[in-house]
Amino acid sequence: MGHKFTTKALSYSQPDFSLHRGNETHVSLTRFTWKCLSWFGCVLGATLNSLLGPRFLVYVSCALSIWGDRMWHFALSVFLIELYGHNLLLTAVFGLVVAGSVLVFGVLIGDWIDRKPRNKVAHASLFLQNSSVTACCMVLMLVFSYKSEIERIGQGWLMVACYVAVIILADLANLASTALTITIQRDWIVVITGDNRSQLAGMNAMIRRMDQIINIFAPLSVGQVMTWASNVIGCGFILGWNLVSLLVEFLFLSKVYQLVPQLAAKPRRYTGDSFLKRQLELISSQGGPLRDVMEGNRHDSVNPDVTSRFPLGLRKIQRLVRTCCDGWKTYCRQTVFLAGLGLAFLYTTVLGFDCITTGYAYTQGIGGSLLSLLMAISAFSGLVGTILFTRLRRSYGLVHTGIISSCLHIVCLLLCVFSVFAPGSPFDLGVVSPFERNINQPILPGRSTIHWTNNTVLMDGAQESTQPESYISIILLFSGVILARIGLWSFDLTVTQLLQENIADSERGTVNGVQCSMNYLMDLIHFILVILAPAPQQFGLLVFISILFVIIGHTMYFVYARRFRKQNLHTQKTPEKDREAFLT
């Protein structure tokens, strides 16, 4: 009995090594599982933080806004042609109204941005833009649905009123879009990135990349809807997009404003002696005596006793005129004035993928499908330009990046000059009568011959393209235009960041408003040149004028860069600090 008991005792007291090994394996698996879960939680938390961070929210808001703008601008050009019986009159009137309104009200928009809180400016601009587009789409849907009935009411004056309403609403949407772009892309991202210039360059480049990509797909999306459905469905599609975009952008921008407290701390604008004190260092560096500026400011001021005698309406007009004059003076006083003016000069060119260049290519035998492919390649070239900007800025500094980009832009555009004299070019200065045309010949053909591409309307029939003797000229032209976009977008990002870094917070809206006005002014000049020389045989002359304006613009930037370098060399800094300041 004892022996058996001892054996049982021994058998029960002996440890079960297999069970312990199982526990150890289970514990190891549990620890590994917890490590995986904790790692997954950290990654998920970091991802959520980045997705809910201010930069990501700004990216999404900008993407929605850019997508809506690209769809609307493309669709509106087609709607205006369809609306007025396939005539370019409404399109031309709308272009003049848009350019003139931004030219006149750009300074006032910038002044309003500087005076009001950032969140109110963003929300007001967003609401005005989307509500104007929505109202315009509703008017267009009514006109397209009941066009014949509307034309019979009031001997056609009701239709004229609809034309006026569409142009005014579209112009208001463009002004609001300009204000929103200045607010978010020129002011908010500067505050969000703070003193980190690398992050600022990265955000500028990312927004520009989104713009290039969206420029391909947004017009295609609405174009497909308009082609396979109808103009009414196209208007409804844009209307629905704007309503959804308004809600999402409003929520995201409000969240960004809450996440970045610095956005609420907006500095007050400098006036009078405070402004003169702030400008003292700049005036001294430029060699201008402070006495002259004081006297000029004294002469510019208006006696309140005299102005109080004017009627209220005249006083308001006088205040607006004074605001515009002060805004232009503020723009001209900036140290980066020549860089911004040089960028504006680049808008006076036909060497881009607008309706002018694509229309010329169509007359030279390039079809709509090939043009769409070239536009996609051009957008990819713009993406390369944004990548080049970030690499050059990191290696050579911001100012040197502008110099390299300018040289690259000019060299690539030389291919366009060569295309004028290449085989297949229709260049002929003997065509001096651009307005000779049969008065009974329609400007545009019938409804069934219109094809949509990204940025223009192509026609068959009366304006059928002819096959040139050689395609060497058109190949050189588009090779230069596509390659030049690498340097162009890199240069554009350079000047944009220079304006962001060197303009005071209290003047950022005003200066950028004047910059938009200058851009529209130079763009308007380029359209006037096309009106004066519209024949394909005269396109070579427009190429020469475009190259001249581009060279003048980049020369202005070279002068700015030389002054910047000269000013840094005369400052009392150590070589290391001087090099660091120049490179940043």
| Residue 322 within any structural domain of the chain | no
Q: Quick one: tokens of 372?
A: 């769409």
Single-letter amino acid code for the residue at 152: R
Buried/exposed 294-330: b ≥16 CB within 10 Å, e otherwise: eeeeeeeeeeeeeeeeeeeeeeeeeeeeebbebbbeb
Single-letter amino acid code for the residue at 431: V
Residue 109 to residues 178, 237, 336, 347, 557, Cα–Cα distance (Å):
8, 30, 20, 21, 26
Q: HSE on the CB side for 369, CA within 13 Å?
A: 0
| Residue 11 within any structural domain of the chain | no
Mark whether 457 and 404 lie in a shared domain: yes
Cα separation, 445 vs 484, in Å, equals 34
Q: Quick one: tokens of 336?
A: 């980066």
The three-class DSSP label of residue 452 is strand
Distance from the first to the final alpha carbon of the chain = 94
The three-class DSSP label of residue 459 is strand
Residue whose pair of structure tokens reads 């908010």 in the numeric block:
188
CB atoms within 10 A of CB 566: 9
Residue 76, Cβ density class (10 Å: 0-12 exposed, 13-18 middle, ≥19 buried)? buried
Mark whether 245 and 297 lie in a shared domain: no
CA dihedral 500, 502, 506, 512 (to 10 degrees): -50
| Residue 24 within any structural domain of the chain | no
Mark whether 258 and 287 lie in a shared domain: no
The CA radius of gyration of the chain, in Å to the nearest whole number, is: 31
Q: Quick one: tokens of 508?
A: 């950022």
| Residue 455 within any structural domain of the chain | yes
Mark whether 289 and 376 lie in a shared domain: no
Mark whether 161 and 303 lie in a shared domain: no
Last residue of a domain, which of 317, 350, 376?
317
Residue 295 to residues 175, 290, 291, 292, Cα–Cα distance (Å):
36, 9, 6, 5
Q: Quick one: tokens of 435?
A: 């307005």
Mark whether 277 and 251 lie in a shared domain: no
Per-residue pLDDT of the chain (584 residues; tens, 9 = 90+): 444 444 444 444 444 544 455 555 655 656 666 666 666 555 555 555 556 789 999 999 999 999 999 999 888 888 888 877 656 677 778 888 888 899 989 999 999 999 999 999 999 999 999 999 999 999 999 999 988 888 888 787 888 899 999 999 999 999 999 999 999 999 999 999 988 889 999 999 999 999 989 988 888 888 888 888 888 999 999 999 999 999 999 999 999 999 999 998 877 655 444 444 444 444 444 444 444 444 444 444 444 444 556 677 777 788 888 888 998 999 999 999 999 999 999 999 999 877 788 778 878 888 767 887 888 898 899 999 999 999 999 999 999 999 999 999 999 999 999 999 999 888 887 765 444 444 444 433 333 333 333 444 443 433 444 566 788 999 999 999 999 999 999 999 999 999 999 998 889 999 999 999 999 999 889 888 888 888 888 899 999 999 999 999 999 999 999 998 888 776 544 444 444 444 44
Mark whether 71 and 195 lie in a shared domain: yes
Mark whether 86 and 203 lie in a shared domain: yes
Mark whether 249 and 276 lie in a shared domain: no
Q: Quick one: tokens of 557?
A: 């930037």
Are 200 and 193 in contact, with CB atoms under 8 Å apart? yes
Mark whether 412 and 561 lie in a shared domain: yes
Domain CATH for 128:
1.20.1250
Residue 421, Cβ density class (10 Å: 0-12 exposed, 13-18 middle, ≥19 buried)? exposed
Work out how many domains the chain is built from and give that number: 3
Mark whether 261 and 283 lie in a shared domain: no
| Residue 405 within any structural domain of the chain | yes
Mark whether 299 and 393 lie in a shared domain: no
| Residue 9 within any structural domain of the chain | no
| Residue 407 within any structural domain of the chain | yes
Q: Quick one: tokens of 572?
A: 């009392």
Phi, psi of 364 (to 5 degrees): -100, 15
| Residue 375 within any structural domain of the chain | yes
CA angle centred on 321, ends 318 and 327, rounded to 5°: 140
Domain with 545 in it: 338-429+445-584
